[in-house]
Amino acid sequence: MRAPEHKNGSTDLPTSNSLAWHTLDVAETLAQLRTTANGLSATEATSRLAEIGPNRLPAVARRSALRRLFSQFHNVLIYVLLGAALMTALLGHWIDAAVILAVVLINAAIGYVQEGKAEQAMDAIRNLLAPRASVFRDGIRIGIDGEQLVPGDIVSIEAGDRVPADLRLIQERGLSVQESALTGESVPVEKQLDPVASDVALGERTCLAFSGTVVTAGTGVGVVIATGMATEIGRIGQLLANVATLTTPLVAQIQRFGHWLTWLILAVAVSLLIYGYYAAHYPFAELFMAVVGLSVAAIPEGLPAVLSITLAIGVRSMAARNAIVRRLPAIETIGSVSVVCTDKTGTLTRNEMLVASALTSSTACDIEGDGYAPFGAIRHRRHRDGDVRSLTELALAALLCNDAALGERDNAWVIDGDPMEGALLAFAAKVGLRLDQERRRWPRIDAIPFDARHRYMATLHEDADQNRLVFVKGAPEQILANCATQRTSGNDSAPLDQAFWHAQIDAIAAHGQRVLAFAVRRVDAARPAFERTTVENGLTLLGMVGLIDPPRLEALQAIADCLSAGISVKMITGDHAGTASAIAQQIGFARTAVLTGPKLDAMSEAALNQAVLEYDVFARTSPEHKLRLVEALQAHGLSVAMTGDGVNDAPALKRADAGIAMGKKGTEAAKEAADLVLADDNFASIVAAIREGRTVYDNIKKVISWTLPTNAGEALTVIVALLMGMSLPVTPVQILWINLITAATLGLALAFEPTEIQTMQRPPRRRDEALLGPDLVWHVVLVSLLFLGAVFGMYHHALGQGHSLELARTIALNTLVVLEIFHLFFIRNIYGTSLRWSAIRGTPVVWAVVAIVTGAQFAITYLPPLQAIFGTAAVPLNDGLLIVLVGGAFFALIELEKQVRLRWLGAFRSR
């Protein structure tokens, strides 16, 4: 029987969102989709494809390459730089102008290359759709391109296949599907055919198979209920496409700073032009050149280049710590995070199964170990003498009733087959069994594969003496129902104690462990058949094991480090609430109460905004939940880092201030949506990245804290001279020289500064914290005034000594440079004293740039050709020593002020 065709050519089918497919039985589903178990006719499939469209995600609309390139110049700081280049070109300094233009072009190139993350993430999700599908058309099984699937098609899937569309299963045999990329649950989901409740989470809709997930065991047949953007994977793609990427704190503050600086410089320049021309009656040409000199002094034209270099150095440092940066500003952002939202599976845990506990009637023990390695300690919590045999027999059942293989490859223990069965093999080896030897001693002669309806697997084995044993494993409730006795000490049995075992099941499950029970039955070799009736009664219970996706050992210390740095950690997972709570307890969460996805759905935005501050563990979450949680945290002004490895994490990774994907086990969609990728999938690398991010921000702040006061001091000397009707202490060309030689060297040295002591003991800064805060404003004012006093003092001292105007200006020029060198040593330690040997010793880069600047100053001061260009004269030795003494006095004053300020702030905060 074929599906009915429609004369009008319209399918008029229900959408994936209009029906809760998981609540319908097979007959209702086929009726709604107007199809049968034999599939659609080729004609009907063609008609539906024409109306619904292909089974693929639409390509993201892309901007033209030229438009993307021009957009990189649309930034106020770039306008300031272009203005600086124009001014320096008008002054005839073509090299300086070329350097500024090169900075603009480099920045544009970086932005151009880094654009298009969302498009790449969509491409990665699009690639998850299966390229081919096995489908029934006109009752015949054929292979077609996955794009040609339509709702109502009947599709066959088997182990190793990627599910090509969202399916309502109509047949299954031992079918398990790995859905961790979609739901975050590490264990493959066992599928069945019965409808489930309407309000269950995505991971519990066991009668459905979702597009993009992978079949790990068994076979199945399903009817297509959704294709393309209507699938769950497509819905995540739509979420990702609609998520706005937040600007980073640094980018936002630099933009604000650029606007502020632009208008300030323009206002001061225009005011001085008006005052000088109309009030002081300066010649316009001379006045204009002085104002240009002022503008050049005020504009930190080297700042963007130094910031880019600082970020690039951070990229290199983070790569050395296994954090790969995909977008430059993300380096600074990760240092500002105040909340880390982490997925559980594969991030806090290993995304591997481990037998954590084993239980017989007379012994209970905890199993230690690392991954699938077949060795680890067994710690007995309850044990009777002479009862080692019961644990060994339990391990033998775990070994023989098992289809997986365990082996060592590239110095790592890996499994072929189901992760849970691989963990059972490792457990058997830890107990002391030789896996290959036992399998040869008890070869399998028959098996009943796992079936979701019966919830157990059974295998029949026979040894050389024709002794036959049936081993059964499965859901504890099912195994208990099939058992009459339980193994005691030795080879003895006793009546089954149902109450005892149910209490043990609850105790193991309370630790977030998945419970499996094992039973045995001795059968007669003459028994004609191995059937389900053999294993559904008369079994002897051997015991139970508890399996868990174990937490990463390094995650414990990493989370403790986050807490000491004032960073809260929140677990957001698609896994079960009990498992999430248990893992949270094991890795040191102070609050382990769980808020589940269904409860999130019932919350208003206001209630959710409060809940995100009260809960640290969120379970059974969907992609929408993760996105809402990130946005709720950001509503409190918090900078949020989101870690994850699944497709379901991609929208939240993109929305977060810093998205961090796992490099080894992460999906391509997660990597493309993220700002950083952890090469080693190690949560501990996040702490290293945060430390490096804070260092980068500190260094950027040092660069700005060094640049602004020095530029302001230079500009202030010009302003005061013009207002007082005096000759300029330094000429415009000398100011250009100072900016060129010091910004390219002294400012750059700060980009290489190492991490300061106690960087990770400081609380995170707020997202809206001003880059130009009160401390920096005060420092700019203080240093500018000290610069002004020192430069004019030395300038008038030189004139008072009878020196020529050229020599007085040379002394003033060298005084400015020496002050900037001493200021550099002060700025290197903004959170502690500079009067330490490590601070004085500095770094090789610091001393290299000081040597370069000193050599350059000697050159323009004492070499006649450069004296002619820059209007300088040779400085006598006594005046040179006085310049150095003035620099030392300046350093002492600002260091004293810092110590008083830090102690006062420390006392104020300790109250």
Residues labelled as active-site residues? 343
Is 639 strand, coil or helix? coil
Q: How many C-alpha atoms does 393 have within 13 Å on its Cβ side? A: 27
Q: 734: how many CB neighbours lie within 10 A of its CB?
A: 22
User: Degrees (nearest 5) of the Cα angle 441, 517, 449?
Assistant: 65
Distance CA(499)–CA(578), nearest Å, equals 22
Look up residue 24 and give its two tokens. Answer: 């319908």
Beta bridge partners of 217: 176
The helix (run of H) or strand (run of E) holding residue 465 is: none
Beta bridge partners of 493: 487
CB 357 within 8 A of CB 333: no
Beta bridge partners of 374: none
Q: 582: how many CB neighbours lie within 10 A of its CB?
A: 20
Beta bridge partners of 176: 190, 217
Amino acid at 900: V
Could you say which DSSP state residue 592 is in? -
Distance CA(97)–CA(107), nearest Å, equals 16
Beta bridge partners of 701: none
Could you say which DSSP state residue 349 is in? B
Look up residue 797 and give its two tokens. Answer: 């001292």
Overall size of the chain counted in residues: 911
Q: Render 696-744 in DSSP notation, one character per residue.
A: HHHHHHHHHHHHHHHHHHHHHHHHHHHHTTPPPSS-HHHHHHHHHHHHT
Q: 812: how many CB neighbours lie within 10 A of its CB?
A: 25
CB 554 within 8 A of CB 586: no
Angle between helix axes 732-743 and 844-862 (nearest 10 degrees) is 160
For the stretch 832-836, contacts whose Cβ atoms lie closer than 8 Å and that sit 24 or more positions apart, written own/partner, are 832/756, 832/757, 832/758, 832/902, 833/895, 833/898, 833/899, 834/891, 834/895, 834/898, 835/895
Residue 387 φ then ψ, to 5°: -105, 20
Distance CA(184)–CA(186), nearest Å, equals 6
- Which residues 6+ apart lie within 8 Å of 445 measured at CB? 460, 461, 462
Could you say which DSSP state residue 209 is in? E
Smallest CA-to-CA distance from 13 within 223, 322, 233 is with: 223
Q: 344: how many CB neighbours lie within 10 A of its CB?
A: 27
Distance CA(731)–CA(729), nearest Å, equals 7
CB 520 within 8 A of CB 471: yes
Distance CA(295)–CA(711), nearest Å, equals 10
CB 431 within 8 A of CB 392: yes
The owner of tokens 């019961």 is 390
Is 811 strand, coil or helix? helix
- Which residues 6+ apart lie within 8 Å of 550 measured at CB? 349, 350, 352, 354, 356
